[in-house]
Structures are given as structure tokens and as C-alpha cells.
Chain A
Amino acid sequence: MIARIIPLALVLPLALATACEQDVRHVELVLGSVAIPDQVAPRGLDCVDQDGRLMACRIYDPDPPVLTMVVDMIPLGGLPRCRANSLQAWCAEATHDCRPDLDRRAIFELSLPPDRSLLEVFEAMKSELSGQVLPNPLVSEPVIVRATFLAQDVATVEAAGEEPSCEALVGCVYSCPVVLDGVEGELPLELDAFNIRCMAEVHQCASNPIFAIEPACSGASGTPDLDPLCR
């Protein structure tokens, strides 16, 4: 009898303790593909503009240079497939709003290295973002997590409201449709594009609603003329 009760007495408090603790799931946003460990810049931050210049060089257009990242939770009302054309078709339906929840928007102003080097910018950006927690994520329904990079300061971005400045647009990446409550681990953010001539895809990514057929910003990438020092 005693031998039967002892295991019960050991297991019961353990079960109760397990039942009482609150679990925390961790979802880690990764800039770029998780399949490319040494990737310098994710696709979406290495696109070139209509002049063939890297859009990322726009961070040096203002004086002083500035870079701000806007993270949006975009409710989808369902779970479409991840490819850009599927998302575009999904968001084209009248019942799917695909606009960001501005109450959950998070804006990070990123510090820039003293040297004029995009490689160092991307390294510093990753380092600075590491461990940063989104203050109010939408976790209980299907969303796209989108990060838009702008060559503007936080005040200007906040004042601009929903639509980003086309001239200040540096890049844009997004996640696949996901319910954050249902996953754990790495969630990659990148742009669904084949090469660096991806300005149009960046415009679609940064538009509101996302993947608008006619985004507010227009234009296509020209022949690349790459200069990582943005001279």
C-alpha cells in the first residue's frame, strides 16, 4: 500500500507544479534566410533602384545619415500560401484587409557606424537588433510580420502614418503567414525575389495594404551599378 502511495505522492506535486507554471514561447525573427548562415544582407535590403544604385544607400542621403526599421503585424484573416503571387491574390480579395495593425507597430531607430560602408551597417544592424523584443505582437491569429527600412528618423516616420515615403524606402522583408502562438523558434524575414533587381517587390512589400496590385510607390530596378560604399 505504502509502495503504491509513494510514487503518487512524488508525481502529484510535480504535476501540480507543472500545471501552475506559465509557459513562454520564443519566436525569433531572423533577417534573411536561415538557410544561408553567412548572408550579409537579406534579400529585400540589397535591391537596386531605377538607376541601378543600391536602395540601401539612401540611408546616406539625409544629413546626418539615418536608418529606421518599422515592424508591423499584418492580420490576414486566414493562412494563405507564402509565395508573393499567392499573397497578392489573397489580399486582392475584398474580404481580406491585409493592412497593418498600427496599434501594434514597433519602430526601431538604428545607429549607424562611423564609416560609410553598407556591410558594416548591416552588421551593426543585426547586432543592435539581437534580443530586441516586440512590445505588442499579435500572436493569436494569422499574420505576416513585416519589417520596413526607411532612411528617416522616428519622428518623421511616425508623422507619415501608414504610408511610407517612397524616396526614403531602403528595403522591406516579411515573414510567411503564421500564427505566432502556434510556432516556436526561428521565423525568417526576407523578400520573395530572384535577384537584386527587386525594387518593385520592395514597393509591394512596403505598401499598405501589403501586396497591393498598384502600390503607392512605383518604378522598377535598373541595371545594377553596385557600390557598397555608396559614393
Chain B
Amino acid sequence: MRRPLRLDPRPHRREARLDTLVKLAWPYDWPYTWPYAWLITWLITVPSLGCAGRRPSPPTGPPVTIVVRAPAELAPALQQSLATADVPVELRFAELPPLPPVRRPRLGFEDRLATARRLYIEADFPGCQQALRGESLETALLGDNRRTTAGRLLLWRLACHVGAGEPERAERVAQRFAVYDLEIPRDVEAVTPEVEAYLGAAVTAVGEAARATLHLDSDPSRAIVAIDGRPAACTTPCDLDLPPGDHVVRLHAAGARPMIQPIKLPQAGTRRSLTLPSAAPVEIARQWATRYADSPAIDSADSVRLLSRAVRAQRLVLVTAEGDPALRLRGVLSVDDRIAARSERDTSPSQAPKTAPALLEDLLTKGQVVAPPKPLVRRWGFWLGLGLSAAGAATITGIVLDRDPPRTEVRFR
């Protein structure tokens, strides 16, 4: 039995086998050259193109602040991967503002009302008036949307004036009560019917009077208006039909300090334009946390604008990760309080750290914070690599073509 001939497994032996097959048709040694030429071409081209693909410029412009909202187990890995993103800008990280503590109702005013009630029952009407003194009290209460307390304040003031025999002052208080459209409090059971009569007359008179229009505007616009302690009456600019008389307007807008403003509305109506002072970043952070910390609209334009001011970032990137097991990475870029770009990726929790840098690069490129990568053919590295490759391939091909073909030695074992 003859054993089959063993063919050499090394590449040039395969060349030899190929050579065996084609030798009769092509009696030259050309097949030896190409593997070497292509090997060298790749060895030169791939690193050169890699160099050409890098962003060459150093960090420029203001830093980009990144805020991440993600499940607790994923957030550190996301931040770490974003920090390694290959972008020519300085990256900073900021924490989301925490939710403010629940505000407890202020105490103390109940004591003044109890004191006034006791003095009224004891017929100490000057003392009663003294206990409730302070013109700004009702403005503060209505500005704080505490209409019930404001109603009790005005009721006891009215009672004290009636008891003291001051009908004109009693009428003015009763009229304000009616103009504010307050509900009559339970304390009315403790006052005389004369007091109730003042209230009834005032409510009737105000109800029968023609209404006047209050036109409100603000800077910034889109401020939320509360009128006489009734929240969210409208959003500026807006018109309100109200009874003529004294009113308390409260405006609050994102990024601004709330404003409480007493307004006297004449019969013919009036137009008022109010400027809200800017809020401090700490206050803005509190506003953002109250409105958006647990909201699905966290990446809305208003939220991002407010957040950028809260963290004092001229350029802000908010990255959110939601969903399990399929994870959706969403990113929004805000530049100078305006949304400059949005992007999102579908990924998984394990792949999110790899996806996040690409999301960031996409955002910064769309938002023109960084220049988009140049096309390959417009990079010097590409042409340098190509030239080197061609030269290398030509050189190696020349060398290989010039060398002697493999020699076969036949001998006895």
C-alpha cells in the first residue's frame, strides 16, 4: 500500500500546491509575491488609518457638564464610561439636585387668632385689634395660598371693628373679604349676628357689581399666576375677570424668585407687568427637584433649561437610562439655556457603559460643540497611510519578485 503524499501545511507549500495545479498553464513564480505584499499593506494601512481617525484637537471652549439619571447600580459605570469619551472638550460631572424636605406648616398664627377671639369675648376690642394688627398679614397669607386662615383673620378683624363701634373700617374689611371671595369660616358662630350682616351685605354688593379685567404680564413670561390664594389661575400673559378692589397676585416662574404683589383693581380694569427677580442656583435647584426629580418629563426643554441653571452649566448634557431589561439611553444637550441636540440608543444594562460614550459624541457633534469627524478622504493620515501602503507593497513585491524561488532537494532517507 502506498501512503499518500504529505502536502506541506505551511503557506508557501500551499502556494506550491497551487503552483502544481497552475504550473502547466502559467509557468512563472508570481503566486509567491501576493501574500507578502498584502500582509505588509495591511500592516501599514490599518495603523495609519487608526491615527487618521483620531480627533486631534485639544479641549476647547467651556466645559460640558454631564448629569446622569440612572438606576443606582448602573449610574457609576455610566459616569465612568462617559468620562473616557474621546471628545475634545473638558467634561465635568454634577449630581442631580435632591428633593427638598417637606415644608411643615408654619405655626404661631393660630395663637394670635385664639388671643383675638378671647379678647373679643372679653369685650377687649382694642386688644383684639392689637392682636391682629399688621396690614401685610392678609397679603402674606393669601400669597401663601392659605385662604382659610386669611378668611379667619378678616372675620376676627371685622368682629373687633364692629365691637369697637367702627362701622367704616368694618365695611372695608367686609368688602375685602367679599372681593377675595373667601369662604366664611366656622368661627362665624362665635361672633354676633351684626358681624354676619356686614359680611352678607358685602358679599351681596360685590356679587352684584360689574367685574373688571386685570391683564397680567411678566418677565420672564409663562409665569404661573395665583390670585387671592387660588393657585394656577392662569399663565402670563393672561386676562382675569375679577371684582374691582384689592387683590393679591402671586407669580412664580422657573428660575425666578416668586413674587407676591397686592394690586388695586379699578372698575375700568388695569394692565400690570411684573418683573420677577432671578433666583439663586440653590433655589433653582429646589425648583427643579420639586418639579422634575421624579417626573417622566425630566428631559423636557423646561427641565433641562432649569437644570442647567441649577448646576450653573453653560453646556449641559443630561443622560437618562430607563427600562429593564431593555434599556433606553436618552441624552439631551443644552447650550446657553437652549436645547441644542437630542439623541437616544436602545441597549442593555451590560452594554450601556459601552454605548454611553457614543451617545455623548453624537450629542456634542449634533449640537456643534465639537466638529464632526472629517471624511476619511479629507484626512492627511489617510493619504499618508495609503501612500506608505502603496510604497510598502511595491517595495515588498519588488523584493519578493527579485528573490530566488524555493529550491527542492531530493535525497534518500
Binding site for B on A (CB under 8 A): 1, 4-5, 7-8, 11-12, 15-16, 18-20, 22-31, 33-35, 82, 129-134, 137, 139-141, 145, 176, 178-188, 190
Contacts and interface: CB of A to CB of B under 8 A. Distances in A.
Contacts of A30: 412-413
B406 interface: yes
Interface in B15-33: 16-17, 19-20, 23-24, 27
A140 B22 CA distance: 11
B324 to A, nearest CB: 39
A8 to B, nearest CB: 6
B403 to A, nearest CB: 6
A25 B396 contact: no
A29 B403 contact: no
Contacts of A139: 408, 410
B20 A22 contact: no
Interface of B: 1-3, 5-8, 12-13, 16-17, 19-20, 23-24, 27, 36, 39-40, 43-44, 47, 50-51, 392, 396, 399-400, 403-404, 406-413
B410 A137 contact: yes
Contact of B5 (A24, A29, A33, A185): A185
A19 B404 contact: no
A174 B106 CA distance: 115
Contact of A184 (B2, B6, B396, B399): B6
A11 B5 contact: no
Contacts of A188: 2-3
Contact of A15 (B19, B27, B40): B40
Given A33-B3, A183-B7, A131 B47 contact: no
Contact of B20 (A132, A182, A187): A182
Contacts of B3: 33-35, 186, 188
Contacts of B40: 12, 15
Nearest to A140: B23
Which of A7, A19, A129 has the most CB atoms of chain B within a 10 A radius of its CB?
Answer: A19
Given A33-B1, A133-B410, A141-B24, 7 more contacts: A26-B411, A27-B409, A29-B412, A133-B411, A145-B410, A183-B8, A185-B6
A29 B2 contact: no
Given A23-B12, A180-B408, A187 B5 contact: yes
A16 B392 CA distance: 10
Given A1-B51, A8-B47, A176-B2, A182 B19 contact: yes
7 contacts: A12-B40, A12-B392, A15-B396, A24-B407, A25-B406, A184-B7, A186-B3
Which of B1, B7, B50, B409 has the most CB atoms of chain A within a 10 A radius of its CB?
Answer: B409
**8 tightest CB-CB pairs across the interface, nearest first?**
A182-B20, A23-B406, A4-B47, A28-B413, A129-B412, A139-B408, A137-B410, A133-B411
Contacts of B7: 182-184
Contacts of A184: 6-8, 13
B409 A29 contact: no
